[in-house]
A and B are shown apart, each in its own frame.
Chain A
């Protein structure tokens, strides 16, 4: 192990250096705290410091404090050399971050034993740091997989889709999608699995699979024996199936909210069903009004046997639907104030003349500006669709 001795008394410094070298360690030596800090910065392999307390310029305790407050990128095990009368120094030292202490005059057998304990701890920390790095790499790779699952903004039949997706802290449980069910019907959805991290994210991938174009499950569309030999399920039926299929265990309440709808691309008629999701907003292009599409519904996975409502909305040409997750309205600024529904609606009211791409960017700018940060506390997701004749 690479060890740094910090001791102003030359004899002591040399004796410690010789003894530790004999035990196979690589030893660096400093005569005061400032020199010690420089050596720590220039030699990142040093992970153990044995420091005297009484030293000119910067004493051992101040050195320990400086190390703990600095950003040297690894844990350094700090041992303080103290005389028998320095009981208070010992307590102060440990409170300020020293890991252990050795009495002077130094008993080398004891020093060795304490050093070995320190080495065990450093090795544990190093292995932990490596595991954390692996986990973070895995999370990043899962986040990339998640991003690739998302449908590209595009026009399908008479409907344009665009969206914004920014998961919090790498992995979140938000998901959305849209695709054609037949030549005149499109399905679209947005869901939010409760919680953060791997279980909600994995669950969101599963749901995305079931709700997407490639799915062979009969969740959205089933075969029937008479022409046209298929039947598109009503949105409430989809929610009932999902709810009964994915009941959570009490010990791990993995549940999700969802807004699922189908749109007839020839007539603009939308049928929507929701389960505990923020109500989608209907932006009327002619009257320039914004209406909340009535919500409610018990989130899916909570209780079996729940029923849901279908709501029908007849879009006019140029009308838009804005679906969003609660990360949007619950986004906090530096004072802890939430963005809120009122602010979102006022903002959207200014975008009637924007293209949906511009509307998406405008909302993003306002939310990022509001939060004052680059990273959001919760997933921020919104999906816009616009119907044209």
Chain B
């Protein structure tokens, strides 16, 4: 279970070495993200490039992180793959997050 955070142009870009963001790892991921925020990251991009499948707990983790930030700073989603994009469309995640096709566009925008 590998989560990684790097700094890029003032953003904390978080990525993972996982193809499934589901019940098995979503709680650990949530704790990891909350730690980033508690340590001061207020501009976060989550790189979903490697995620082929996301379930309700994975989605819950993304929204929980947004709620945790309480309207301060920014939380963006980057590089969602087809199945994940379908889930985002079904649940209107574009109303909650800026969703970009690449990390670069997320940082620029």
Q: B-contacting residues of A (Cβ < 8 Å)?
A: 192, 194-196, 248, 250-251, 253, 255, 257, 276, 278, 295-299, 302-303, 306
Contact between A296 and B68 (Cβ–Cβ < 8 Å)?
Answer: no
With a cutoff of 8 Å between Cβ atoms, the chain B residues found around residue A195 in the complex are 23, 56-57, 60
Q: How many A-B contacts at CB < 8 Å in the complex?
A: 54
Question: Complex Cα distance A250/B34, Å?
Answer: 10
A253 is contacted by which of B61, B89, B96 (Cβ under 8 Å)?
Answer: B61
The main secondary structure of chain B at its interface with chain A is: helix
Q: A257 and B91: CB pair below 8 A?
A: yes
Inter-chain contact B96/A298, CB cutoff 8 Å: yes
* B contact residues around A250 at 8 Å (CB): 34, 64-65, 67-68
Chain A residues near B39 (CB, 8 Å)?
none
Give Cα distance in the complex from A257 to B57, angstroms.
13
Known: A194-B56, A195-B56. A296 touches B92 (CB 8 A): yes
- B1 interfacial contact with A, CB 8 Å: no
**B16 within 8 Å of A by Cβ?**
no
Given A194-B56, A194-B57, A195-B57, A276:B64 Cβ within 8 A: no
Q: Which chain A residue has the least Cβ–Cβ distance from B37?
A: A250
Give Cα A382–Cα B96 distance, bound, in whole angstroms. Answer: 29
Q: Is B5 an interface residue (CB 8 A)?
A: no
Q: List chain A residues, Cβ under 8 A from B34.
A: 250
A255 touches B60 (CB 8 A): yes
Q: Which residues of B contact A295 (CB under 8 A)?
A: 90
Which chain B residues border A276 with CB–CB below 8 Å? 90-92
Give residues 15-65 of B contacting A (CB, 8 Å). 23, 34, 56-57, 59-61, 63-65
Question: B93 in the interface, Cβ–Cβ < 8 Å?
Answer: yes
Residue numbers in B under 8 Å from A298 (CB-CB): 91-93, 95-96
Can you identify 16 A-B contacts, CB atoms within 8 angstroms? A194-B59, A250-B65, A253-B57, A253-B60, A253-B63, A253-B64, A255-B63, A276-B90, A276-B91, A296-B90, A298-B91, A298-B92, A298-B95, A299-B59, A302-B63, A303-B63
> How distant is A323 from chain B, measured CB to nearest CB, in Å?
14
Q: Which residues of A contact B64 (CB under 8 A)?
A: 248, 250-251, 253
Contact A299:B91 (CB < 8 A) given known A195-B56, A250-B68: yes
**B63 contacts across to A, CB distance below 8 A:** 253, 255, 302-303
Q: When A and B form their complex, which 8 residue pairs have the shortest distance between CB atoms, in order from nearest?
A: A253-B60, A194-B56, A276-B91, A250-B64, A250-B67, A250-B68, A253-B64, A296-B92
**Bound: A278/B89 CA distance, A:** 11
Distance A245 CA – B64 CA, assembled complex (angstroms): 17
Give me 15 other A-B pairs in contact (C-beta within 8 A), A248-B67, A251-B64, A276-B92 excluded.
A192-B56, A195-B60, A250-B64, A253-B60, A253-B61, A257-B91, A278-B90, A295-B90, A296-B91, A297-B91, A298-B91, A299-B59, A302-B96, A303-B67, A303-B96
- Which of chain A's residues have a CB closer than 8 A to the CB of B56? 192, 194-195
Residue of A nearest to B31 (CB): A251
A297 to B68, CA, bound (A): 21
A270 CA to B26 CA in the complex, in Å? 38
The distance from the CB of A278 to the nearest CB of chain B, in whole angstroms, is: 7
Name the residue of chain B whose CB is nearest to the CB of A378: B55
A residues in contact with B57, CB < 8 Å: 194-195, 253
Q: Considering residues B59, B64, B89, B91, which has the most beta carbons from chain A within 10 angstroms of its beta carbon?
A: B91
What A residues does B60 contact at CB under 8 A?
A: 194-195, 248, 253, 255
Question: In whole angstroms, what is the CA distance A56 to B61 when docked?
Answer: 57
The residue of chain A having its C-beta at the shortest distance from the C-beta of B65 within the complex is A250
Q: How far is A250 from B62 in the complex, measured between Cα atoms in Å?
A: 10
- Closest Cβ neighbor of A192 among chain B residues: B56
Query: How far does the alpha carbon of A194 sit from the alpha carbon of B63 in the complex, in Å?
Result: 13
Check if A306 sits within 8 Å of B95, measured CB to CB: yes
> Which chain B residue lies CB-closest to A252?
B64
Query: Nearest chain-A residue to B60 (Cβ)?
Result: A253
Give the CA-CA distance A299 to B60 in the complex, in Å: 10
